[in-house]
Amino acid sequence: MPERLVSIKEAAELLGVSKSRLRAWDDNGKFSAVRTPGNCRRYRLSDIRRFQGLAEQEDGKTDAVAAYLRVSSHEQKQKGDLERQKGRVLQHCAEKGYRVAHILEEVGSGMSDTRAKLNRLFKLAIDRQISRIVVEHKDRLTRFNFGVFEVFFKSHGVEIEWAENVLPKSYEAELVEDMISIMSSFSARIYGKRSAENARKKKEAKQSESVEATHSEGAPASHIRRDAAGVDETKERNS
C-alpha cells in the first residue's frame, strides 16, 4: 500500500510552521520533501509523525518534545513577535534533531499561573507524553520561581531547555509591562477594598442620622402628651 503524502499546506498546519519555513528546511535538508513529477513538494505523513515525536523509542519512553512560546500582549503578537519566536525555537529544535510533537503558543503574562497552554504543558508532563520542553528563554516559561517549575518537570522526567541565554532588549520592556500590570492589579484591590469600606461607613452614618431624626421629631409630641395629662390631673383636684 503506497504511503500517504500530504501537501505543503497540510504539512505546515500539522507542524505548526509556515510554508516558507518548510521550503527552507527542504532546501537545506533538515526536513526533506518528496517531489512529484510536476516538481511540487509533498510530505510523507510518517516523516511528519516522526518529526512530531509521535513514535516512541524501543524502551517505551517517548522522545517527544514540546515547544512553548509566549508573548505578553496581543500587540506583540500582531507585530509578529510570537511568530518569529516560534521560528527561532523550531530552528533550534531542527538543529538539535528533536522531534517536536507539540507546539504551544499563547498570549499572557509570565506571572500568571492560569495560562491555558502552560497548564496543557503540565498535563503533558504528568501523562509522560513529552521528555523535553524547549523555550526561547526560561523567562518565556515563567518570570519568577523558575526553579520550582524545573523541579516539577524533572520529577516527571522532563527536561527544560532554552535556545537563547541572553534576552533581547524588547523583553526588558515586556518585563516592565508585567510589573506595571501586577502593580495595577494590587492597586485595584486596595482601592476597591477602601471604596467598599467608605461606602459601608456612609451607609451606617446615614442610618444613624435617620434614627436620630426620628427620635428628635417624636420628642415634642411626647412632651405635649405629658403636659396635657398634667393639666387634666390639676383640673380634677381643683373640682
Domain membership flag for residue 182 = no
Residue in the block written with cell 511540487: 40
| Confidence bin at 109 (pLDDT 50/70/90) | confident
> For every residue of the chain, which 3-state class applies, written as one string?
CCCCEEEHHHHHHHHCCCHHHHHHHHHHCCCCCEECCCCCEEEEHHHHHHHHCCCECCCCCECEEEEEEEECCHHHHHCCHHHHHHHHHHHHHHHHCCEEEEEEEEECCCCCCCCHHHHHHHHHHHCCCCCEEEECCHHHHCCCCHHHHHHHHHHCCCEEEECCCCCCCHHHHHHHHHHHHHHHHHHHHHHHHHHHHHHHHHHHHHHHHHHHHHHHHHHHHHHHHHHHHHHHHHHHHHC
* Residue span of the structural domain in which 127 resides: 60-168
Domain count, the chain: 2
Residue 236 located in a structural domain: no
Residues 14 and 65 in one domain: no
Residue 206 pLDDT class (50, 70, 90 cuts): confident
**Pair (70, 156) in one structural domain:** yes
Indicate which CATH number applies to the domain containing 91: 3.40.50.1390
Show the cell assigned to 167. Answer: 534576552
Q: For position 3, which CATH number holds? A: 1.10.1660.10
Going by their DSSP bridges, the two strands 159-162 and 132-135 should be labelled as parallel
| Among the listed residues 45, 47, 40, the one whose alpha carbon sits nearest the alpha carbon of residue 4 | 45
Which of the residues are catalytic? 72
CA dist 216 and 223 (Å) reads 12
In this structure, are 70 and 148 located in the same domain? yes
Q: Do 162 and 65 reside in the same domain of the chain?
A: yes
> Which of 60-74, 99-113, 187-201 has the least mean pLDDT?
187-201
Is the pLDDT at 232 greater than 90? The verdict is no
Task: Find the mean pLDDT for residues 193-215.
Answer: 73
> Cβ contacts of residue 215 below 8 Å, gap of 6+?
none
Q: Which of 133, 168, 203 delimits the end of a domain?
A: 168
pLDDT tier at 215, thresholds 50, 70, 90: low
Check residues 145 and 238 and name the one with the higher pLDDT.
Answer: 145
Give 122 or 177, the one with higher predicted confidence.
122
At position 125, the amino acid (one-letter code) is: A
pLDDT tens for 72-81 read 889 989 999 9
Q: Are 160 and 153 in contact (CB under 8 A)?
A: yes
Nearest to 140 by CA among 158, 119, 122, 167: 167
Q: What is the pLDDT of residue 58?
A: 46
Asked if residue 108 and residue 146 are part of one domain, the reply reads: yes
End-to-end Cα, the chain, rounded Å: 131
pLDDT digits (tens, 9 = 90+) for 125-175: 998 889 999 999 988 998 888 899 999 999 999 999 998 876 555 555 555
